[in-house]
Chain A
Amino acid sequence: MGYQLNFDAVWRNFDLLLSGLGLGLALAVVSIFLGSLIGLVAAFAMVSKNRLWRGLAVGYVTAIRNTPILVLIFFTFFALPQFGVRFDKIESFVFTLTVYAGAYLTEVFRGGLMALPRGLREAGLALGMTEWRANLWVVIPVMIRNVLPALSNNFISLFKDTSLAAAIAVPELTFYARQINVNTFRVIETWMVASLMYVAACYLIAAALRRLERRLAIPR
């Protein structure tokens, strides 16, 4: 075929790719943070005795987990404004990814809560802690440590989902890669570099999370 790889055009636009990667990471961090808070609250709702809370949490998780994320992105971006909810595209995507992350993290946290021995919470209560304080100082710290590996997997997968923001023209890595591809016709080179950038970023995130896991691990 005689196709000559030529990366010049890609390197010339590399700063765009880098800024796209940076935005993707920022989107992921914000959504994961907010999604974790939602996930924690919903996980406690799921294991609570209150049927209303339990029902709401189950409804939320079921609805979100059974909808493709691209549909959620489009729904938020195109349909919600029809109800008068106005977002710019970055806000819209962060909102979607947060809600999406929340549903998956609810499941992770719920599993973590159910796996804890019941005596742990009771030991806190017996010392005179209120439910909330026992959760804050005992239940959550132990549960988080136990679910860190599962959490890491979810975080990486949520970061990769930021590539879908390109569908509503959020200028992240995939968006710029497509732009460079269209403008320079360096199809193979562009997508090769973009892929490698995702791989490197995921690898670094995984390494950082593993370090955190080791730091927080309960000594054996």
Chain B
Amino acid sequence: MAEHLLVIENLHKTFGATEVLRGVDLNVDSGDVVSIIGSSGSGKTTLLRCVNMLEDYHEGRVLIDGEEIGYTRHDGKRVRLPNSTIARQRALTGMAFQTFNLFPHLTALKNVTLGLVKVRGLAKDEAVGIARRWLDRVGMLDRQDHYPSQLSGGQQQRVAIARAIAMNPKLMLFDEVTSALDPELVNEVLNVIRDLARDGMTMLLVTHEMRFAYDVSTTVIFMHEGRIHEAGPPSEVFIRPRTPRLAEFIQNSSFRA
């Protein structure tokens, strides 16, 4: 097996009668920043959610560091792994959501320490140390005692990113983390991600921020109708799209070189 950090092979996913992912293949190496672009309903979110098994999938494989995620095979039949194993595998990745999803009853600090203490089993002091370091990194240390409802959207999203990364995942999944934000708050979040990318964090991110994808990505993937329609370095995908679909998509987006 090649040394890819993440391997997605022939991934298929259906919701009822509609096939949302129709055979996705993707390799991500350590340190890669892979942006997923594409029109609404093309399956971007679903693809991310299959990587951490928030959605089951019906065919294909997802491997992280060579370990198959979610399923195993018995006599050629796929069998879903026990929930406890899947829970452990989910911790291999971190996820930031469009709607932040902070725990509303906990302060910013406790949002970050909860997983460290309850899932990773760290002592409280150690967890607080790690949490404070990451809150500082996203510029939220001075708000560590605030509750989510006392923070702006951009601040909540930065705490949510700190919460995910503090768990030390091998791979970060970002799903349109700025689309629920007021325009003036978008950049503070994008800057955090940019900073993490520069630091070598491996990430798979769905975004509608074309300029941002162009700037930070090592690879850009264009999804269309449940497949990867085109993929390549940002300079190719944005400047010299090979397919009319992608050309049209770029044309209609806000992207200007």
Contact = CB atoms under 8 A, between A and B. Distances in A.
A126 B95 contact: yes
A128 B101 contact: no
A218 B104 contact: yes
A142 B106 CA distance: 9
Contacts of A130: 83-84, 87
A130 B86 CA distance: 8
A122 B97 contact: yes
Interface in B97-142: 97, 99, 101-105, 114-115, 118-120
Given A128-B91, A129-B87, A218-B149, A123 B101 contact: yes
Interface string B36-59: 000000000000000010100000
Interface string A120-139: 10111111111101000110
Interface residues of A, number: 22
Interface in A114-169: 117, 119-120, 122-131, 133, 137-138, 141-142, 145
A122 B54 contact: yes
A220 interface: yes
B119 A126 contact: no
A219 interface: yes
Interface residues of B, number: 30
B158 interface: no
Contacts of A124: 103
Contact of A219 (B54, B94, B149, B164): B149
Nearest to A144: B105
A158 B36 CA distance: 55
A130 B88 CA distance: 8
Contacts of B87: 125, 128-130, 133
Contact of B104 (A128, A137, A142): A142
A119 B99 contact: yes
A140 to B, nearest CB: 10
Contact of B163 (A127, A141, A218): A127
B90 interface: yes
Contacts of B120: 128
Contacts of A123: 95, 97, 101-103, 160, 163
Indicate the member of A130, A145, A220 with the most B CB atoms within 10 Å.
Answer: A130
Nearest to B94: A126
A85 to B, nearest CB: 37
B162 to A, nearest CB: 12
Interface in A190-220: 218-220
Contacts of B94: 126-127
A127 B119 contact: yes
B119 A128 contact: yes
A126 B105 contact: no
Nearest to A143: B105
A218 B105 contact: yes
A145 B147 CA distance: 14
B167 interface: yes
Given A120-B104, A127-B163, A218-B105, 9 more contacts: A119-B97, A122-B97, A126-B95, A126-B97, A127-B167, A128-B120, A129-B87, A133-B87, A133-B119
8 contacts: A123-B97, A123-B103, A123-B163, A126-B164, A127-B163, A130-B83, A218-B147, A219-B149
Interface of A: 117, 119-120, 122-131, 133, 137-138, 141-142, 145, 218-220
Interface of B: 52, 54, 83-84, 87-88, 90-91, 93-95, 97, 99, 101-105, 114-115, 118-120, 147, 149-150, 160, 163-164, 167
Top 3 closest pairs, chain A to chain B, by CB: A128-B91, A119-B101, A127-B115
